[in-house]
Structure 1
């Protein structure tokens, strides 16, 4: 059935150009055998320059970076945005996206135009690559760590929509990885690098063997890459919270106990704070207690009450930064083979096979044990009680969840940090036939292809805790004694007088467990294509490409049974997901030379999905060369992105980092805020205890595809006068304006924006508020329902500027390559008219959209010596200098003097500037080193001046935006390559 949300293409007229082809084969071989396929078009051409702007990164350029992964190379694109990489330590309770795609721990992705990685199509040799599998969901992005750098000949980047050419996902652009093909000989590469601190070591070893014969050619490659960890505690910016100890976790190793006392308490320890009758006067005391470090414990292992307890303050919060990682470790092993055989003069058979194994690790602070309703969504923990007979209970009464006990929270550092170990295996097989023939003096090229690929992942989560066993260990000792292995649990003793902890190894043995999750994604593709010349016009031949494709997607996520039953809770995806769908497509593309220097291109693609129906997209482009030195070009493209399996069938439950505006609203001094929070039924005593709010979101089988419009207009100027005057042997100036608009964007509304809108509305019946539920007694948000829908619109535009210059002199060859992206606008809205917080020049949700990003690469070569200097510039951005302490006159970020642009009257409006950053990378290479043919040595120093990332107060981890800035510290590397 046709999709009612999709626009019918205005380019259907292109079908009229499909003239018949005389199939009588010519006896001679093809004349234009040098034709190639350029990214952005399926038509094989001799001229490389097309209507769409394409950036090509060569193998030689990659070698000068010292990087060992495709993902790291693409992170430096000036047109790139926030994407997962090895600096994103996203396991645990952070990073779970609302789309059912999982956390993606250990993977590396690419974003273009800040439109997210799921809107970028990744190809390998012009064919689709299988989506990631990370054992935490079913994602819609490609993990670039599944493509070994050893097989890469070049990387092509198309910054334009191309759904009419390639189908779904090509909304923000296309990445094409070109593998090594015509390689003859043997090459060995080894490299080693590390930070000046002695950590973050990288090692790379590659062996490539190839042969090019008259009819047969083949390449075999084996590679091994290892990247070691960098701990947060080993970097100044990451070892602590920039705003001080109050911003730590309220779940501490000493324990925290929030109780309504049904036991005798000394004056002042538990002041009246709860207003039960609604008269505005607190009439029920609330104990918010902890024990001080090095508090002695009695013979039973717990402090005596009341002498061993003090009132909890924010200064006692726990700093979990030290337990995190700034750089996550991984190992990758791969085997790749490619072969091609000329069956006849004009027909070739090819086959490619790859196996890649990735082992990676994420680490987070020790897991929390939290019981009681104050930590909503905690399953069994919400209704877990502590028996008065528990030998460690110092209060002498039953502590009943929801009655006299709101929360007991203890961070058992005795059990060690959370460890997440991923193992990902990628298998790829592609084969096909390619050929060419001539008919009526016209050249034609054809190919048929088959691809079968799979990603399988397993994740082992170490050092988590079984809530069912905790429930038994806190209950009546007699019941625990009847259960083999059960040992009563002490949540009250803190770390004891000696600081070694009071949760014994026997207790840990009973409650600690490991969790094993798994996921799988598979992609099977059959395609057939035909390209050639149809007929001649006065200005040249009308060329075309047409083809059909069938794709079959399959994906599943299998969480551990303990997750599904709720016995283990870590604020992450807990629901099994599986699904599959099929796509049948046909396309036609035409290039028409209307004048000697003026060409237009048109494309039309029809896609039929088993999930939602059919989609038709079209594109139009032109290329005009008024003079030899000037090329003008432009494109308009319709695009779409089909919902992936996680969006259709997944369910995600996670802890979103949200600041509740109603936290401590009664002391804010803001009459409007006070009135709004009261209208929403929030108690005057409410105060948000942590930064994470339990959020439920997930799949929607009724989702329709996103639609998009993309527009580019630009020029390429290669002035003849520059060459004639001798100031350059090469000078190219390229300017491109881009504009992307995505409608019906699949998303859950930004949770922070929705909560802000709800509070501002003061009306619990409005759409902003209906998914937010609070505990009527405490005000705590107990659930935040934030489901996926086609509700968003994304609009962005900007300019790419590129200048390439080179000149040979008697002193050597000088080169400069300057790539720039200027983002003029980025706006995200929903169907309710809300504008989301993501915008140009703003740091939000651990990702920034800098207005200007620039890379300047300078090179010098003389004889066998090559020198390079790269400058990578990121423009300044600002962030909200605002968090859950805004309404605290002493502890707000504004009061602490941390905001560069404070608003003393309304701290929630304060801003903080993250200054502009420039990194300097140095490179030196020596060909034919020591007079040995084929031996190349290189030495590099990245971040030569040890530039630190600007401190980010709103970022979740490590004190800076890991999607934009480098790991702090200089990084040295040495590389050797020998080819024979």
Structure 2
């Protein structure tokens, strides 16, 4: 057989010719030598059958290559019990430190991501049939939204856990996820699935239709999918609703789920105390509750400020923990053999998702620009006197919840031609995808109108007229209510092509090479309403305007050198030229050695990069609200309590043991046009051993080094540096890091912190990946196991210390959020038409300090599946079989939802019918 047949088979499997060798890690000669049915006269020529058949021991070893790859089939996905691709990937052991899966009061509410090797989501490249998947503008164009992937259309998922910038270019630093779509299906398949958690909330429904036609010259597959999800409200989970975590509940710090933005007057012009606006409240805040509600708590005290008396608000009564989702997606995949040597591929993919984000009513601070007298209302409440400059932290509960309607629309089109001659094979393709995002938000506040909306005393009558926010029964004027709207778009268009050919012969066979080139245009646009752009909208969840465009050209090559019958060398390289920051070259070298038929040894080295996103470069300023430790106040208190200490001793005491939590402040961030690409170096050494026909194991040790990481400086570091500067010990923060700074009021309380994106620091990760696959056939049925274990040896990063210098942090592995081990396993038992699967997920304990130990966590999904005689599958799953509750972190008393599932026990029923 000739080379081009092998090339076409790779393409139909969703792998470009340029990456086939890297991902499958095999040459035609090696395949011929490791295939039972190989014809020794054709060892230099590939065989379609040899590549496609992976069932036997030797053929399975042939598929294992110099770079590790994990394959998750459609059957494997079904065995987990999960409905969405996002849930499958996020619960995988490869998602070591977890990743975002959705949430409320967040601009990412409609998104879901995965982060291989515990790295950033921007370091994992997601492909659709070997082509870049659309990047989400919600994620600033840095990652793909897994929620848009149609589960019904998937044939398998291939996860390459090695750096691959030499093959794909940017983003493939920590690895590649390749979603392989069904392309050879005939008939009709309909599926219905429903989920019902044992606790309130989290219900979902899933419907899909798949149809396929096949003929002698080609085939077509069409798939439609509909998914709906009802969110979990915070009040419906004990660990999410407001409750006392320590103390007797008399102090605000005793609680989680309460906000100081209830009804709390800040005397900023005189005593600096925070007080109940009602003088004769007798220590209670019940006058602010409507009807029989218990939204407001207090008066509460503050450990850090003994004179404060707060009226706090329970936002968990109204807030959702996730977004309400409705998603539709359609996919058509068409292949046609124009003739025996040329094949046409056309693919169209569309998805639309609506996410409803429900947050508690807007909190805000009303600043008074005039003195207001104390007086008694008709209900008998005596209002506390207000001075110009005072503020009132106010929850606008009478306006109703904040509602943000997110709409994500994704279109992906591909047309490709591939062909061959007797001397070489070739491919050309055009790919276009567009991701549009729009959010419509209502029940937010217009900050510029708050102060003006406050009434005053009529000089003639002596009566107060207009809105008095101190009065529990005062009606909030409509003039302060506004919308918060955002729109963003990411567009990607690429032309690419290449040629594969044989160069010369080596002792192990023919040297095969692929040379290709691509041209890509990327566009990013983001806009928000004019009031939000001006910073006048209160209660939003971030976002800013900005626009950018770039052109990227690339040339790349890959060569497979079979040095000997058992030794294969892979060399790849890629040069990318970006119109906005220049060029970068990334090589990759990998070695594959088979000392015996059942054992494969492999090693690889490569460099990688991540280009700054257009949002990193051109995003305009955006405002959020944060809370950090206040070192200035700590120093002030320490100096008062220790009058004999000098400045060095006070600084050491303050920086090492500051517990004063500063008030909420404005946080300003934005893009930086001077950012350069992140750079990485990856090492991998491993082995695959086929124990016998039914059992195999693999072990890979890896290391990932990252430099010039794109991020913001830590807020705490900025505040520490500002504190030392206030004592004259170091230069101003803005001198050390241009564009960065923090400001305070006369009472040393935070006002605003300004940060900026840049190339700050580096990191180093290393770990081990182990997998075990096996099966056992008995007269009582078939048993199988798939186990994948990810172990982290090290994770360190650099940070900016108080002196404004970069310093290497201690190893984070084992601390909160950085588990040492994650394990995913599936145990299967099949007897005739019956199949039982137990999918288990393990996360090791965390926090070596012993102050807040999170215990080992393991959850199980149990699925029973029946293959009915009328060509149907019926499945019943119990997710989180033992109703395992997520461990809670002490600082928030809430679960890390990026690592743990908070839904609880969940019943899933599925019916699939084929015609």
Normalising by structure 2, report the TM-score.
Answer: 0.84
Q: 2:689 aligns with which of 705, 717, 720?
A: 717
Question: d(CA) in 2 for partners of 1:917 and 1:128?
Answer: 35
* Cα distance, 1:295–1:873 mapped onto 2, change above 3 Å: closer
Q: Could you tell me which residue of structure 1 aligns to residue 241 of structure 2? A: 239
* 2:903 is equivalent to residue 952 of structure 1: no
Q: 1:336 Cα deviation (Å)?
A: 1.2
Q: Could you tell me which residue of structure 2 aligns to residue 339 of structure 1? A: 334
Higher relative contact order (Cα pairs below 8 Å, separated by 6+ residues): 1
Question: d(CA) in 2 for partners of 1:754 and 1:187?
Answer: 57
Q: 2:577 aligns with which of 586, 608, 613?
A: 608
Question: d(CA) in 2 for partners of 1:167 and 1:610?
Answer: 15
Q: Could you tell me which residue of structure 1 aligns to residue 667 of structure 2? A: 695
Q: Could you tell me which residue of structure 2 aligns to residue 626 of structure 1? A: 595
Report Cα offsets for 1:449-469 as digits up to 9, x if no partner: 111111111112222112233
Q: 1:33 Cα deviation (Å)?
A: 6.1
Query: Does the aligned pair in 2 maintain the 1:40–1:165 contact within 8 Å?
Result: no
Query: Does the aligned pair in 1 maintain the 2:275–2:310 contact within 8 Å?
Result: no
How many equivalent pairs are there?
829
Question: d(CA) in 1 for partners of 2:881 and 2:751?
Answer: 49
1:317 counterpart SS class: strand
Question: d(CA) in 1 for partners of 2:274 and 2:229?
Answer: 48
Q: 1:781 aligns with which of 731, 739, 750?
A: 750
Equivalent residues in 2 for 1:519-534, closer than 5 Å:
519-534=488-503
Q: Could you tell me which residue of structure 1 aligns to residue 74 of structure 2? A: 59
Report Cα offsets for 1:689-724 as digits up to 9, x if no partner: 6664432222111111111000000000112xxx4x
Q: Could you tell me which residue of structure 2 aligns to residue 660 of structure 1? A: 630
Q: Could you tell me which residue of structure 1 aligns to residue 358 of structure 2? A: 363
2:746 counterpart SS class: coil
Question: d(CA) in 2 for partners of 1:74 and 1:32?
Answer: 29
Instruction: Judge which range, 162-171 or 564-573, deviates more.
Output: 564-573
Q: 1:453 aligns with which of 422, 433, 436?
A: 433
Report Cα offsets for 1:410-464 as digits up to 9, x if no partner: 112222222222011111111111112212xxxx332111111111111122221
Q: 1:41 Cα deviation (Å)?
A: 5.4
Instruction: Judge which range, 413-422 or 120-129, deviates more.
Output: 413-422
Q: Could you tell me which residue of structure 1 aligns to residue 836 of structure 2? A: 867
Q: 1:316 Cα deviation (Å)?
A: 4.4
* 2:798 is equivalent to residue 834 of structure 1: no
Question: d(CA) in 2 for partners of 1:158 and 1:385?
Answer: 64
1:400 counterpart SS class: coil
1:105 counterpart SS class: coil
Question: d(CA) in 2 for partners of 1:210 and 1:842?
Answer: 50
Report Cα offsets for 1:593-622 as digits up to 9, x if no partner: 111010010111111000111111100000
Q: Could you tell me which residue of structure 2 aligns to residue 893 of structure 1? A: none
Q: 2:901 aligns with which of 955, 961, 966?
A: 966
Report Cα offsets for 1:944-977 as digits up to 9, x if no partner: 111111111234xx71100000114101101111
* 2:762 is equivalent to residue 793 of structure 1: yes
Report Cα offsets for 1:460-497 as digits up to 9, x if no partner: 22221122332221155889xxxxxxx93331124xxx
Q: Could you tell me which residue of structure 2 aligns to residue 978 of structure 1? A: 913
Query: Does the aligned pair in 1 maintain the 2:200–2:232 contact within 8 Å?
Result: no
Report Cα offsets for 1:546-596 as digits up to 9, x if no partner: 111111111111111111233313375464211111100000110101110
Q: Could you tell me which residue of structure 2 aligns to residue 167 of structure 1? A: 169
Question: d(CA) in 2 for partners of 1:818 and 1:296?
Answer: 58
Query: Does the aligned pair in 2 maintain the 1:39–1:156 contact within 8 Å?
Result: no
Report Cα offsets for 1:40-89 as digits up to 9, x if no partner: 95246634222100011111111222323222111012121456544433
Q: Give the alignment's Cα RMSD to 1 decimal.
A: 3.3
Question: d(CA) in 1 for partners of 2:753 and 2:646?
Answer: 22
Query: Does the aligned pair in 2 maintain the 1:83–1:116 contact within 8 Å?
Result: no
Q: Could you tell me which residue of structure 1 aligns to residue 409 of structure 2? A: 425
* Cα distance, 1:242–1:55 mapped onto 2, change above 3 Å: farther
* Cα distance, 1:345–1:560 mapped onto 2, change above 3 Å: same
2:314 counterpart SS class: coil
Q: Could you tell me which residue of structure 1 aligns to residue 147 of structure 2? A: 145
* Cα distance, 1:420–1:160 mapped onto 2, change above 3 Å: same
Q: 1:676 Cα deviation (Å)?
A: 6.7
Question: d(CA) in 2 for partners of 1:235 and 1:318?
Answer: 18
Question: d(CA) in 2 for partners of 1:836 and 1:225?
Answer: 43
Q: 1:763 Cα deviation (Å)?
A: 5.0
Q: 1:104 Cα deviation (Å)?
A: 2.3
Query: Does the aligned pair in 1 maintain the 2:4–2:419 contact within 8 Å?
Result: no
Q: 1:512 Cα deviation (Å)?
A: 1.9
Equivalent residues in 2 for 1:209-358, closer than 5 Å:
209-241=211-243, 243=245, 246-247=252-253, 252=260, 255-259=263-267, 286=273, 288-291=275-278, 292=281, 293=284, 313=308, 316-358=311-353
Q: Could you tell me which residue of structure 2 aligns to residue 905 of structure 1? A: none
1:113 counterpart SS class: helix
Q: Could you tell me which residue of structure 1 aligns to residue 854 of structure 2? A: 914
Report Cα offsets for 1:111-161 as digits up to 9, x if no partner: 011111011111111111121133xx7331111112221221111111111
Q: Could you tell me which residue of structure 1 aligns to residue 466 of structure 2? A: 488
Question: d(CA) in 2 for partners of 1:130 and 1:29?
Answer: 29
Query: Does the aligned pair in 1 maintain the 2:857–2:886 contact within 8 Å?
Result: yes
Q: 1:237 Cα deviation (Å)?
A: 1.0
* 2:448 is equivalent to residue 468 of structure 1: yes
* Cα distance, 1:226–1:540 mapped onto 2, change above 3 Å: same
Report Cα offsets for 1:604-649 as digits up to 9, x if no partner: 1111000111111100000000001110001101101100011101
Question: d(CA) in 1 for partners of 2:597 and 2:727?
Answer: 65
Instruction: Judge which range, 709-718 or 462-471, deviates more.
Output: 462-471
Query: Does the aligned pair in 1 maintain the 2:701–2:768 contact within 8 Å?
Result: yes
Instruction: Judge which range, 736-745 or 337-346, deviates more.
Output: 337-346
Normalising by structure 1, report the TM-score.
Answer: 0.79
Question: d(CA) in 2 for partners of 1:28 and 1:164?
Answer: 23
Q: 1:749 aligns with which of 713, 726, 747?
A: 713
Question: d(CA) in 1 for partners of 2:807 and 2:215?
Answer: 62
1:318 counterpart SS class: strand
* 2:114 is equivalent to residue 110 of structure 1: yes
Q: 1:836 Cα deviation (Å)?
A: 5.2
Question: d(CA) in 2 for partners of 1:258 and 1:186?
Answer: 66
Query: Does the aligned pair in 1 maintain the 2:258–2:315 contact within 8 Å?
Result: no
Query: Does the aligned pair in 2 maintain the 1:43–1:544 contact within 8 Å?
Result: no
Query: Does the aligned pair in 2 maintain the 1:29–1:345 contact within 8 Å?
Result: no
Question: d(CA) in 1 for partners of 2:755 and 2:440?
Answer: 28
Report Cα offsets for 1:347-381 as digits up to 9, x if no partner: 01111111110001223222112034xxxxxxxxx
Instruction: Judge which range, 760-769 or 337-346, deviates more.
Output: 760-769
1:792 counterpart SS class: coil
Q: Could you tell me which residue of structure 2 aligns to residue 400 of structure 1? A: 388
Equivalent residues in 2 for 1:430-445, closer than 5 Å:
430-439=414-423, 444-445=424-425
* Cα distance, 1:667–1:818 mapped onto 2, change above 3 Å: same
Instruction: Judge which range, 206-215 or 783-792, deviates more.
Output: 783-792
Q: Could you tell me which residue of structure 2 aligns to residue 4 of structure 1? A: none
1:912 counterpart SS class: coil
1:755 counterpart SS class: helix
Q: 1:979 Cα deviation (Å)?
A: 1.1
Q: 1:735 Cα deviation (Å)?
A: 0.4
